[in-house]
A and B are shown apart, each in its own frame.
Chain A
Amino acid sequence: MNHPGLSPFPPVVFALGPVQVTLTVIYTWVEMAALVGVAAVFTRALGPRPGGGQNLLEMVVEWLLDTIGAVAGPRPERLLTLVGTLALFIAVGDCMSVVPGLMAPTRDLGTTAALSLVVFCAVPYYGVRDRGLTGYLRHYLEPAWVMLPFNLLAEVSRTVAMAVRLFGNMMSEELIIAVLLTLAGLLVPVPIMALSLLTGLVQAYIFSVLTLVYIGAVLGGRGGG
């Protein structure tokens, strides 16, 4: 009744001892290998006069730094590692859904929940590192101490929202393509696949910008952003 490819949790492929490896994990490894491979190949001979590959990577990094600087304030280099990784992983992962034979790892609620938990843990980390523990805890009492339960609830709910937003977008795209394929024919889902490329990239951008907004809200003190 329930096709394993359509379920929210892809099937377990094999088990390494107590750890169960699902199809999603395997495709995550594929994506990791692709990203690291491309980075290794294009950064092999870095020079002051960049060729094609290095130029492309520099464009990506510059764009990331500009976006981080525009949203989260000065000194964007501190957030480049986290936000850049999230943006690249989600963008490439979402684009994997249109390649035949591959599946987007962000289509699994586990992947998006893991990414969202990373952000959930990163926000206090950057907050405490920037403002100290008391400064960070005090921000829960802003703008008024009665807002404390709402601020706490907002932390939890926005984490869940980020995970479900990304998962919902990806899973529904794949599901629509699968349903169209079953109902209509072979080349019918192609416009939908083009749309899913676009929404995948937009969702990667949204995830990164929301991460920046949340981290930027607990940074600050000097300059604001």
Chain B
Amino acid sequence: MDSLTLVVVASIVTAGFTMAIGTIGPALGEGRAVAGALDALARQPDASGTITRTLFVGLAMIESTAIYALVVSLVLLFANPLLSYFSH
């Protein structure tokens, strides 16, 4: 197996694992965040503006780790910088 094939196989497998494992944490975290927000909304419906805003900001922060994983796996699959090294 020459090095180009090895790099391609490693990239594909890594991209899959990155997305699979990298989104478990953020998904669980977002679930807990929304659960907490719903709890707070049930207790104090008057503060719904603040709660909703804080919820969205918190979700964005949690989401960004999932986005990092997505970016890494997309770059590995579609814009792989290592292929130009090994395809010469």
Do B67 and A210 touch across chains, with their CB atoms under 8 A apart? no
Task: Tell me which residues from 49 to 79 in chain B have a Cβ below 8 Å from any Cβ of chain A.
Answer: 49-50, 53, 56-57, 60-61, 63-64, 67-68, 70-71, 74-75, 78-79
Q: Which residues of A contact B (CB under 8 A)?
A: 1-3, 6-8, 67, 70-71, 161, 164-165, 167-169, 171-172, 175, 179, 202-203, 205-206, 209-210, 213
Closest beta carbon of chain A to B41's beta carbon, Å: 17
**In the assembled complex, B83 has its CB within 8 A of some CB on chain A:** yes
For the complex, what is the distance from the CA of A168 to the CA of B61, rounded to whole Å? Answer: 13
A2-B79 contact, Cβ under 8 Å, with A164-B67, A169-B67, A209-B53 = yes
Instruction: Give chain A's interface secondary structure class.
Output: helix
Nearest-Cβ distance from residue B17 to partner chain A, whole angstroms? 17
Contact B60 A165 (CB under 8 A): yes
Contact residues in A for B57 (Cβ distance below 8 Å): 206, 209-210, 213
- Whether A1 pairs with B60 at a CB distance below 8 angstroms is no
* Chain A positions within 8 Å of B83 at CB level: 1-2
Q: Which of B24-39 contact A (CB under 8 A)?
A: none
The secondary structure that dominates the B interface is: helix
A167 contacts which chain B residues (CB < 8 A)?
A: 71
CA distance A1 to B86 in the complex (A): 13
- Please name all residues of chain B whose beta carbon is closer than 8 Å to the beta carbon of A164 when the two chains form the complex: 64, 67-68, 71
Are A171 and B60 within 8 A (Cβ)? no
- Shortest C-beta distance, B20 to chain A (Å), equals 16
Instruction: Report which of A7, A165, A206 forms a contact with B56, defined as CB distance below 8 A.
Output: A206
**A67 to B63 CA separation, bound complex (whole angstroms):** 22
CA gap between A167 and B71 in the complex, in Å: 9
Asked whether, in the complex, the Cβ of A202 is within 8 Å of the Cβ of B79, the reply is no
Given A8-B79, A205-B56, A209-B57, A70–B50 Cβ distance below 8 Å? yes
A-side contacts of B64, CB under 8 Å:
161, 164-165, 168
| Minimum CB distance partner of A6 in chain B | B78
Rounded to whole angstroms, the CA-CA distance of A210 and B60 in the bound complex is 9
A residues near B53, Cβ cutoff 8 Å? 67, 70-71, 209
- With contacts A165-B63, A168-B67 known, is A70 near B79, CB below 8 A? no
Most A Cβ at <10 Å: residue of B49, B74, B75, B80:
B74
